[in-house]
Every structure is written in C-alpha cells, then in structure tokens.
Structure 1
C-alpha cells in the first residue's frame, strides 16, 4: 500500500460528505503554546508561560456565547499545572476540547539540532517525530484527563510520516494544512493549492483533514490561487490590490485581520459552500506583549471585541458552532 501523505493534494472523491441537515458550521482552534520572541531564531530554552493565567478568562468568554474552543496544546502547556488547572474542568464538562500541537524544539526527546528546518516536525526522522508525538500525547492525557483526537503540527509542519503517526495514536482529525500559504522557503510544506474543504486523508483508518480557512476576496479572487503567489516578491503590490478591492487573502483569525476583512472572508467562505469554517489564533495573544497583535490592554479589549462581533455575525448568518465531537458524529465515509 502506498504511503499516505497529508501534504498530497486530495482528489475530489476524498472530500468529506456531511448530512443534508449539517449546513455550515464553524470551529475555534487555539494554538495553546509558550511565549517566545517571534522575531528571533527558534530556541529550546528562554520561553515563558505568563499568558496561561489568561486562559480561564477566555474559556469563560466562550462559554458565555456557547462556543466550545479547541485548545491545541504543546509540551510546555501540557506539563504546566496552571494550564491543566485552568482547562481541565471545562474539558471534563464538554465545554472545551483538547488537542495536540507539536513544537518539536521544546518537545522531548531533544535529539535534533534546533534550526528552522527541524522546527517543522515532519522534517524530522520518522522515529523521532513519532516519539515526540507520543510523549506529548501522553502528557496531555495525563495533565488534562482526556484523550486528544485532533492534531495541528506546530508551524503547520507536516511530513511524509505524520499520517501514520496520527492514525497509530487514535487521532481522528488533522488540522495542520493552512491552505493558500506556502512555507517551503524555510523548509516547510507548500499548501498553496490545497482546498479549504475537509477531506479524508485515510478513509480506511478514519483520518480527516480539516484545513484552516483562508479565502481570496476582491474582483480578481477567481485568479487568486494563480496570481497571489506570483506577487510574493512585491508585497507592496499585494497591499495595493487589497486596498483597491481587487485581490486580498483573508485567513479567519484576529491576528493581523481586521473585523471588516474577516466579515468579507466569512461571506466568501459561506458563498463558496465551505462546510466548516476554521478560526484560529495563538494563546499568547490573550495577554499583552507576547505577540505582534496584542501589545497593550487596549489591544486585548479590541481582541475580545473582534470575537464578539464575529460570533454575532456568524449567528446572523446562521453558522452554528461545532466541535471535534460534533464533527465526528456528523461525518460519513460515503
């Protein structure tokens, strides 16, 4: 049997079929991780966990609007007593879900050199990627009292052996593919041509890909998959085309995306019939000073206002929230 690779482009017959009454839904994923300086080279040491104290507030906020956040946690979070204490009750009550996010540079065993190429877990030797995943998964189960069923590779770094690692450890959903983004310059995967609808990676073993949602907007959006990548050397042109309403790439995240932009993105995703809109952000944005997107308490207030407006708009558009459990109950292999 040929090796299953998540990074391979799926055929239309692999697309996931949902029941007629499923409609369109959304999920909220949180890359729950340590704080580090995004502008500096990746390091194994020197990170902090200050934003962990803000997880409880965000969980309470989500519960107030009926959203079940999916916390994709890495090793420093999985072994943080404060993080486990903050999230374990909500997970036990079904008001939050837990998943795996592998940052290889901070996940034992530390047998590789720390560099950009190795920061994509899929680039590691197969046995090392597997062992890092196993130890992280076990730490999550022990710390949070739940078996994780969803995975996102840190830095979206899938590799040729990742699918077998996930299926061997009972993962049902991978959500590492960031469609319409290309990380190959740093040695990572290229997802430029991947679809934004879910597909079966391995239908026999029940592994689904749930890609992050990114859409093209503007008068030239139909040419986005071809035109946008050609402008990577001239980011000023990308900005100009966005400002004049010709072409814009919009990921569904509060990090670097305005409310007006994300509303446009939601509308496009709905119009294109995307069955599951996948929103995401990094947990250090829950406290000021740890990401470029939230530098002050005023920025944090704006961050929460962004989510309030997005949830309200999704409700008006009749896009209900779902969860890993909800997806697994809904999908069929037919």
Structure 2
C-alpha cells in the first residue's frame, strides 16, 4: 500500500475512535523554537535561543495542574545546552514529553535557498526533507535520551512525502494539520477541508493525525467552512462578522485569542464531541519581547492568567489533560 498524502483530507472511514473510558481530553503542545523577528524575512542566521530557560517555569506551572506538556523541539533549541537543564529531567521522568518541530531554514543540511516556498518542509525534495528530519530526530534523542513519537512541521508545512518519512522515523502522531487555515497563497498547504477530529492517514498505515483545534463560533458557524474562505480577500468583513457575533474563527491558543474567546471555542468543541482538544503556542512567548503577543511583563502575566483560566474551566467541565502516550493507549487501532 502506498504511503498516504497528508495533504489530502481523509475519508469518513479514517476517523480515529477512542476507547469508551478515554472521554474528552486536552493536550498542550509547545512549538519550542528559536526567537526571530516575526516581521522580517526568514533568515538562517538571524535568531537567538534566549527564552529556553523560561521553559522551566512553564513546566512547573503545568505540573501544578497535573498536566504533561508536549515540547515540539526544533534544531536551534535542540542544540542549546540550556534545554536539557530546563526540561530534560521532566522529560526523563515522564512529567513532560518531547516531539519534533522542523524549521527547515535553520535545520541542516542546508542544501536549499531560504525562501518562503522552502520554509514549508513538505515542498523540499524528499531526500532533503528526510535528511533534515532524521538529523533533528537523532539530535533530540541524544539530548533527551527518548525517541520522539510526535511531529509538527514548522509553518504547518506538510508535503506529499511527509507521511512516508514519518513512518520511516517511527513517528506515531503527526500534529501539523491546522484545520480551517489555508497557506496556499504563500506556497504552503490548504487545510480548509480537513476535519478537527483525529484520524488515521491512510487507515492501516497507523499514522495518527492530531489536528490543531480551531473552532467556528456564532449563529453562522455551521456555514463557516463555506463563508470564511470566501472572505480571504476581505479580512475586514471577517472582523465585522466577529464583532456582530455572527461568525468567528477561534484557534485554541493564547496568542491573539482572548480567554473569553477560547472558552467559547472550548464549549463548541465539547458540544461537538471532539475527543481531543489540541492547544498550541510558541515558546518565545514565555519571555517578554520576542513575539507580538508578549511584549512586556504585563503581557507575560496575562499569558499565564489565560492558561490558568482555561485549565480551571476545563477541570470544571470534567475534561482531563492527556499526553502522547495516553492518546496512543486510548485510541482504537485500525
């Protein structure tokens, strides 16, 4: 059987089922990456890893709620001597998990030009995509002494050969699909037609896709898949619909989404029966001045308040935290 193409939306038969006692759970994923200027063109050299020590505080924060976060680590962070100090012990003691995040423009071998098109790893030749991923996987295994089981492509950049490469690497879960987002204008994937629920890529191949959670909210939410893409040339109309509380796209992230919006998104996801809610954010937001979302200490306090409120709301709703290992134990194999 040929390897599946992760760019293709799955069929209904590929939907993943979970054991009855799994219930509804949530997963915290951290895109653990270098700092760079978000407004500047991508640069192979123009980055730092100053925020790596801030991972320790977030780890301790999560542990206070009984949460096992998943750190999706890229090459610059994996090569920082500080990352093992920050989260290494937590990973070894199963208080945290580590996965792979591939930013191809800063991940060797450097055999391609740095362009927007090449920043989506799935656009690279299969040999180069494989070489970058394998080298990063080996580095992560050296640093953390564990084999990563989950992958996220930087910029959500899956390609036609990514599934085959992940299978070669022994990766059990991909979490690169950002459902209800379209990156094709930049040369990237279009995930508008992909579902939110976990699914098997190719059925019997046993590569589980765990999409990031983005919800349509409002009276028009059932028409979101039809309406929202038609407004990509006129983002102002999207804003008007949101202000009128008719239709809003809510990603489960503290970056650019208010606590109140996120809770509305959580409620819709739970009402729709989504088995796993996947939260995500970028690790440079754990220190002031490195992302547009956390410019100062007040913003950082607000980020932690956001997480605190979401954790408390999820607990009140009976939604338990989960981890990669628990998901693999809870899912029914095809």
**What's the TM-score bracket when you normalise by the shorter of the two chains?**
over 0.9
- In the alignment, the residues of structure 1 paired with residue 192 and residue 259 of structure 2 have an alpha-carbon distance, to the nearest angstrom, of 24
Matches within 5 A, 1:29-108: 29-108=29-108
Question: Could you tell me which residue of structure 2 aligns to residue 180 of structure 1?
Answer: 180
Question: Could you tell me which residue of structure 2 aligns to residue 222 of structure 1?
Answer: 222
- In the alignment, the residues of structure 2 paired with residue 130 and residue 84 of structure 1 have an alpha-carbon distance, to the nearest angstrom, of 25
Map Cα deviations across residues 15-73 of structure 1 (whole Å, 9 max, x no partner): 00101121100000000000001111101001011111211000000001101000000
- In the alignment, the residues of structure 1 paired with residue 236 and residue 161 of structure 2 have an alpha-carbon distance, to the nearest angstrom, of 38
- In the alignment, the residues of structure 1 paired with residue 2 and residue 132 of structure 2 have an alpha-carbon distance, to the nearest angstrom, of 24
* Deviation larger for 185-194 or 202-211: 202-211
The 3-state SS of whatever aligns with 1:196 is coil
Map Cα deviations across residues 79-127 of structure 1 (whole Å, 9 max, x no partner): 1110122111000111000000000000000000000000000000000
1:217–1:264 Cα contact (<8 Å) kept: yes
Map Cα deviations across residues 104-153 of structure 1 (whole Å, 9 max, x no partner): 00000000000000000000000000000000000000011111000000
- In the alignment, the residues of structure 2 paired with residue 149 and residue 163 of structure 1 have an alpha-carbon distance, to the nearest angstrom, of 13
2:108–2:135 Cα contact (<8 Å) kept: yes
Question: Could you tell me which residue of structure 2 aligns to residue 160 of structure 1?
Answer: 160
- In the alignment, the residues of structure 2 paired with residue 118 and residue 227 of structure 1 have an alpha-carbon distance, to the nearest angstrom, of 30
1:54–1:287 Cα contact (<8 Å) kept: yes
Question: Could you tell me which residue of structure 2 aligns to residue 19 of structure 1?
Answer: 19
Matches within 5 A, 1:229-248: 229-248=229-248
- In the alignment, the residues of structure 1 paired with residue 144 and residue 35 of structure 2 have an alpha-carbon distance, to the nearest angstrom, of 20
Question: Could you tell me which residue of structure 2 aligns to residue 191 of structure 1?
Answer: 191
- In the alignment, the residues of structure 2 paired with residue 272 and residue 264 of structure 1 have an alpha-carbon distance, to the nearest angstrom, of 12
1:259–1:310 Cα contact (<8 Å) kept: yes
The 3-state SS of whatever aligns with 1:315 is helix
- In the alignment, the residues of structure 1 paired with residue 277 and residue 310 of structure 2 have an alpha-carbon distance, to the nearest angstrom, of 12
Query: What are the ranges of 5 or more consecutive residues in structure 1 without an aligned counterpart?
Result: none
Normalising by structure 1, we get a TM-score of 0.99
Map Cα deviations across residues 147-176 of structure 1 (whole Å, 9 max, x no partner): 100000000000000001100110000000
- In the alignment, the residues of structure 1 paired with residue 313 and residue 137 of structure 2 have an alpha-carbon distance, to the nearest angstrom, of 35
- In the alignment, the residues of structure 1 paired with residue 205 and residue 177 of structure 2 have an alpha-carbon distance, to the nearest angstrom, of 19
Correspondence 1:296 to 2:274: no
2:3–2:202 Cα contact (<8 Å) kept: no
- Per the TM alignment, residue 204 of structure 1 is displaced from its structure 2 partner at its CA by 3.0
Correspondence 1:207 to 2:207: yes
Question: Could you tell me which residue of structure 2 aligns to residue 140 of structure 1?
Answer: 140
Map Cα deviations across residues 272-320 of structure 1 (whole Å, 9 max, x no partner): 1110000000000000010000000000000000000000000011110
Query: What are the ranges of 5 or more consecutive residues in structure 2 without an aligned counterpart?
Result: none
Aligned length: 334
1:176–1:211 Cα contact (<8 Å) kept: yes
Normalising by structure 2, we get a TM-score of 0.99
